[in-house]
Structure 1
Amino acid sequence: MRVLLVEDDHAIVRALTDLLEGEGFTVRSCATQDGACAALAAEDFDIALLDVTLAQGNGFAVCAAAREAAPEMPVIFLTASDDEFSTVAGLDLGAADYIAKPFRARELLSRIRAALRTRASGVQELVAGNLSLNPSSGQVRKAGRELYLSALEYRLLLFLLQNKGRIITRDQLGDALWEAAGEYVSDNALNVYIRRLREKIEDDPANPVIVTTVRGVGYKVAE
């Protein structure tokens, strides 16, 4: 698997290259927008990891070039933990996922493998009832109408839909949102995120049928 890493922090490039090559990936790194766009035009990649802010250009332009050069290739944005605007903008451009800096190695590897599995399976949309999420475009629709979620709400729904049919513990959700929020997510905060998400995706938020509670354990999206 070939990875395009677009990042201008040399320390991060070295660390990620060592990590990914140790897991069997081949890494091509670029520090600028022009260099990344040239690499996309000349080479084939399986996945791209893009920093938003670059010394020359930005990750958004690289993502647009990636969508043109290889529409099915997943893109993961590397974003500042408090930069929700960049996160939402990246998802709107068709990024498959995002991960906040600083990130944990195992979480990044898990996100990369999940994005590659989604591409390999040919899954275009994640569906639950009349709700759909398109990882390629970042769009969420309910009964054909587009919903507008915050970055945390999107990350929460994506994680739940990717694990459809499984019981997800509150600790697992907390870990997933820790990466998105850049800070510890308390039980009370998790309750708030779940409530806000249900208000947008459920017909009757007081009696949810998409994201249901498994008492004493966590949550589940039914098959």
Structure 2
Amino acid sequence: MTISVLLVEDDIDLAATVVDYLEIEGISCDHAANGVQGLSLIDNNDYHVILLDINLPRLDGLSVCQKVRASSDDTPILMLTARDSLKDKVAGFDAGTDDYLVKPFEIEELLVRIIALSKRRSGQATSLNVGNLALQLKARTATYAGESLKLTPITFKLLEKLMREATKPVTRNKLMLAVWGEDQPDSNSLKVHIHHLRKQLDKVNANLSIDTEAGFGFVLRKKSP
């Protein structure tokens, strides 16, 4: 799998160096020179990692990060900045960044951090949204168009995984690992909890369904008209 990265950086020389190096390493890297352009690319593309400078024209990096997290986007974000004080780092983490790299930096270290971040989703997102379905990760609640779904801790984890991969089929093994880890029950347990999730979606007349992908797993998608 090719890692896809977005670099939002107004220093054109630095950006060119980073893009060229990453592409040599087999990593695809788009570039935006300001915060507004960066947000537009984030809205229209799927990236494994976002590299975000703080001092950006039109919209600063902290504001970009906050808007990304407010939209429930859990793409890992790495801040690249010359601001190295504890106060600045705290501000970055409060805005929703996952990692912090102070300029000037060794580009080999940047590569290592990108690879590490690309293997996970951000823990900074506080909610997930698929259409009118909303999952509040800290409160551990789910609503559809404002109406509450009654979920057990297990069905909550299942729905979270399905929403994170919305419209993409998720294998039974991935779902079971997300919920039970290595200490897995028999496969019938998964079927029972999927059935419960489907009933909850039906109760609130959701236009979403959890479809079975024969021989593969399940997928959360909009119902066919």
User: What TM-score results when the alignment is normalised by the length of structure 2?
Assistant: 0.51
Give unmatched runs, 5+ long, in structure 2.
127-225
Report what 1:22 is aligned to: 24
What does the per-residue CA deviation read over 1:128-176, in whole Å, with 9 as the maximum and x for residues that have no partner? xxxxxx6668xxxxxxxxxxxxxxxxxxxxxxxxxxxxxxxxxxxxxxx
Any residues of structure 2 matched to 1:191-202 within 5 Å, and which?
A: none
Q: Give distance in 2, aligned partners of 1:108 and 1:18.
A: 13
For 2:31 and 2:41, locate their aligned partners in 1 and report how far apart those are by CA, in whole Å: 9
Note the aligned Cα RMSD (angstroms). 2.0
Does structure 2 retain, via aligned residues, the 8 Å contact 1:7–1:51? yes
Q: Which residue of 2 aligns with 1:42?
A: 44
**Number of residue pairs matched by the alignment:** 124
CA distance in 2, matches of 1:65, 1:48: 13
Aligned: 1:3 with 2:5: yes
CA 1:26/1:95 → structure 2, altered by over 3 Å: closer, same or farther?
same
- 1:181 maps to none
Distance in 2, matches of 1:12 and 1:80, equals 13
Q: Post-superposition shift, 1:106?
A: 1.3
1:87 and 1:64 map into 2 onto residues whose CA distance is: 14
Letter in 2 for 1:49: L
Residues 78, 101 of structure 1: 8 Å contact kept: yes
1:82-97 correspondence to structure 2 within 5 Å: 82-97=84-99
1:30/1:52 CA distance change after superposition, 3 Å:
same
8 Å CA contact retained: 1:95, 1:136: no
* CA pair 111-55 structure 1, distance change in 2 beyond 3 A: same
What's the secondary structure of 2:51's corresponding residue? Answer: strand
Question: Could you list the per-position Cα deviations for residues 57-95 of structure 1 after superposition, in whole angstroms to 9, with x for gaps in the alignment?
Answer: 200111123224463210000021534333211111221
Matches of 1:81 and 1:109, distance apart in 2: 20
Q: Is the 8 A contact 1:21 1:27 kept in 2?
A: yes
User: Any unmatched runs of 5+ in structure 1?
Assistant: 125-133, 138-223
- Distance in 1 of aligned mates of 2:30 and 2:72: 16
Q: How far apart in 2 are the matches of 1:70 and 1:113?
A: 22
Gap change, CA 1:136 and 1:42, over 3 Å in 2: closer
Stretch moving more, 59-68 or 99-108: 59-68
Can you list the C-alpha shifts for 1:97-133, whole angstroms capped at 9, x where unaligned? 00000000111111111112233xxxx7xxxxxxxxx
In the alignment, which of 49, 59, 62 is matched to residue 61 of structure 2? 59
Contact 2:7-2:30 within 8 A present in 1 as well: yes
| Larger CA deviation: 66-75 vs 54-63 | 66-75
Contact 2:69 2:125 in 1 (8 A): no
Q: Structure 2 vs 1, CA of residues 53 and 81 (structure 1 numbering), >3 Å: closer, same or farther?
A: closer
Percent identity between matched residues is 35
2 CA distance for matches of 1:10 and 1:4? 14
TM-score by length of 1: 0.51
